[in-house]
Amino acid sequence: MNRNEEKQLETLSPFEIKNTLIELASHSQKSMVNAGRGNPNWVATEPRSAFFQLGLFALQEASTSFQQYDGFGGIGSEDNISGRFLRYCEDNEQAEGVAFLLNAYNYLTCLQDFNGDELVYEWVSGILGDNYPVPDRMLKYSEKIARKYLEQEMCHGPALPESPMDLFAVEGGTAAMVYIFNTLKSNRLLNSGDNIAIGAPIFTPYIEMPELEDYNLNKIEIMATEEAAWQIPDVELEKLNDPSIKAFFLVNPSNPGSVKLSDETLYKIADIAKKRPELIILTDDVYGTFADDFTSLAMIAPRNTILVYSYSKYFGATGWRLGVVGLSEDNILDRMIADLPEDVRAQLTARYSGISLDPANLKFIDRLVADSRAVALNHTAGLSTPQQIQMTMFSLASLLEEGKQYQKDAKQIVRNRYNALMKESKKDPIVSGFNMDGAFYYAEIDVKDIIETTYEASFFEWMENEFEPLDFIVRLASEYGIVVMPGAGFDAPNWSLRVSLANLEDEQYSLISTAINKMFDEYYQEYLATEA
């Protein structure tokens, strides 16, 4: 691939560049090693076993009614359904997933005081998918269980906020992003030409979406740096004091840096939010469960913060499309809508008048639900009920005692891969604080930094003049069959690459390091030849 072709390729999203890299790697002389997309190569088995066992019980319940036609079942009865559920568990106690279901039921009814019949009936009806989601925002017990899970995993250290969090179950974190952007725009909380801050480096869509004609927002980058252990320096945080900045979007732990914000940084942001009660914060915390002692901004600055969480990475469930949007019952967005100019409020009242007798006081999170179905289809809104039940099982997998070992093992998997990748590296990119704050789901490798640290300075000057930053990644694919993502697409340094630590076996990461080292030596030999 020549330089002009690489220049053209660099204009694409890194996720589109990846497709070209895969094609190049497939034609190399090596077996392809794809460390591009962060899809985990594991699945959480226990909550899935429980899901399928619950499905069998639900079918047994359905078969007790509507028997006049072959192949049909009814919707069952809530009356004493918990008793029938417990008998089913007793009769099938050796089957995979049954012990999990029984432990979950006991935990919820004994320790959380859930009504057993209501709980099991929600599970049965939900897994059968025999009705629209009711409530549409999230099923009653699914929301309570997911909230409990988020409080456990997203709040290490500080006390839980006084005001509980409302949840909206959505089709993964990507759907959450789309819904939030659209509702902020529809409710005039973000308008064309507004300034927003982006905590960079960051997941590419947070960079690309604001630029779309749909939103036309101006971005101000709040840069974390490797030199600062992927924390945000004070000089960057200071930008958030600018009253023209309407919102701050970040991914925590970061992508591709894969480091959580320190408590010191979190509290500095929270202090800014106190001084700027109109600042909207969106925090995407999908990787939080891989970091030690993780706390979300949603727990420290709850009134300002919208939480996005996806179950996809931790439980190996990208295909399930499971996520939630969380927002404190006491939040600034509801107040900001109430304080809009009278003519704007009248327009919004008209927008939501078909779904509420009091549309002016419709909460922001309920506007999210309505807008997710273009308002007119609000009566069919909500994540499919079988998805919500699987989400419930995943949440319970962490809430039960066995969840501690699962989390320990999940963290160990990615840390082992990180160590395998870095064992042969010319320069270990671990900086002060990384071991303590790292999530280790990705590794960001700075080509420029390694060259300037291990070779003479003129080598990188030559390389920068002769090649596009993408050339290193293109050669890795075409010569060694290795696919990685360009860091520049995440607003990381131009000459950097992102390696997913989720989707390959440990030994394959050693192959990636070896190939990267060979690439450095190849370029260096070319450089020496030009100097001779």
Residue range 137-189, pLDDT digits in tens: 999 999 999 999 999 999 998 899 999 999 999 999 999 999 999 999 999 99
Does residue 436 have a pLDDT over 80?
no
Q: With the CA atoms of 103, 108, 109 and 113 taken in that order, what torsion angle do they form, in degrees rounded to the nearest 10? A: 160
**For 182-206, what is the mean pLDDT?**
94
Q: With cut-offs at 50, 70 and 90, classify the pLDDT of residue 268.
A: very high
What number of CA atoms fall less than 13 Å from residue 212's CA on the CB side? 12
Q: What is the DSSP string of 394-420?
A: HHHHHHSTTHHHHHHHHHHHHHHHHHH
Taking only the tens place, the pLDDT of each residue in 381-414 is 999 999 999 999 999 999 999 999 999 999 999 9
Give the angle subtended at the CA of 361 by the CAs of 355 and 365, to the nearest 5°: 75
| Exposed/middle/buried for residue 209 (C-beta within 10 Å: 0-12, 13-18, 19+) | middle
The 8-class DSSP code of residue 372 comes to T
Structure token digits, residue 294: 């993780």
**DSSP track, 130-199:** -S--SSSS--HHHHHHHHHHHHHHSBSSSPPPSSPEEEEEESHHHHHHHHHHHHHHHTTSS-TT-EEEEE
- What pLDDT does 10 receive? 87
Whether the CB-CB separation of 183 and 381 falls below 8 Å is answered with no
What's the whole-number mean pLDDT along residues 103-110? 98
Overall average pLDDT of the 244-265 stretch: 95
| Sign of CA pseudo-dihedral 492, 218, 287, 19 | negative
Inform me whether the pLDDT recorded for 210 exceeds 70. yes
Under 8 Å between Cβ of 217 and 192: yes
Q: What is the pLDDT of residue 171?
A: 97
User: What does the pLDDT read at residue 429?
Assistant: 54
Burial of 212 per CB tally in 10 Å (0-12, 13-18, 19+): exposed
Q: How confident is the model at residue 305 (pLDDT cuts 50, 70, 90)?
A: very high
What does the mean pLDDT of the chain come to? 94
Residue type, 271: D
Percent of the chain with pLDDT over 90: 85
* 261-275: average pLDDT: 96
CATH topology for the 3-38+418-531 domain: Aspartate Aminotransferase, domain 1 (3.90.1150)
Binning pLDDT at 50, 70 and 90, where does residue 432 land?
very low
| pLDDT at residue 467 greater than cutoff 80 | yes
CB 505 within 8 A of CB 492: no
Whole-angstrom Cα distance, residue 59 to residue 125?
Answer: 10
pLDDT digits (tens, 9 = 90+) for 280-302: 999 999 999 999 999 999 999 99
In contact, 286 and 310? CB cutoff 8 Å: yes
Mean pLDDT of 254-275: 95
How confident is the model at residue 343, as a pLDDT?
A: 97
**pLDDT tier at 431, thresholds 50, 70, 90:** very low
433 pLDDT higher than 50: no
> Rounded to an integer, what distance in angstroms lies between the CA atom of residue 97 and that of residue 90?
12
pLDDT of residue 29: 86
Phi and psi (nearest 5°) for 328? -60, 140
Average pLDDT over residues 314-322: 97
Please give the pLDDT value at position 37: 85
What is the C-alpha separation between 510 and 53, in angstroms, rounded? 40
- pLDDT surpassing 80 at residue 33: yes
Q: What percent of the chain has pLDDT over 70?
A: 98
pTM for the model stands at 0.95
CA–CA separation, 328 vs 354, rounded Å? 25
Listed in sequence order, the DSSP H helices in 304-456 are 332-338, 342-352, 364-371, 385-399, 403-422, 434-437, 447-454
Is residue 226 very low, low, confident or very high in pLDDT (cuts 50, 70, 90)?
confident
What confidence score (pLDDT) does residue 428 get? 63
CATH class of 148-384: alpha beta
**What is the residue extent of each domain of the chain?**
3-38+418-531, 45-131, 148-384
User: Are 299 and 326 within 8 A, CB to CB?
Assistant: no
Q: Is pLDDT of 532 > 80?
A: no
Sheet order of strands, 280-284 included: 165-170, 323-328, 305-310, 280-284, 245-251, 195-200, 218-223
Contact 517, 41 (CB under 8 A): no
Residue 9 confidence (pLDDT): 87
Tokens standing for residue 97: 């997933």
Segment 351-359 shows an average pLDDT of 96
222 backbone dihedrals φ, ψ, rounded to 5°: -110, 100
* pLDDT given for residue 435 in this prediction: 64
Looking at the domain that runs over 45-131, which CATH code has it been given? 1.10.20.110
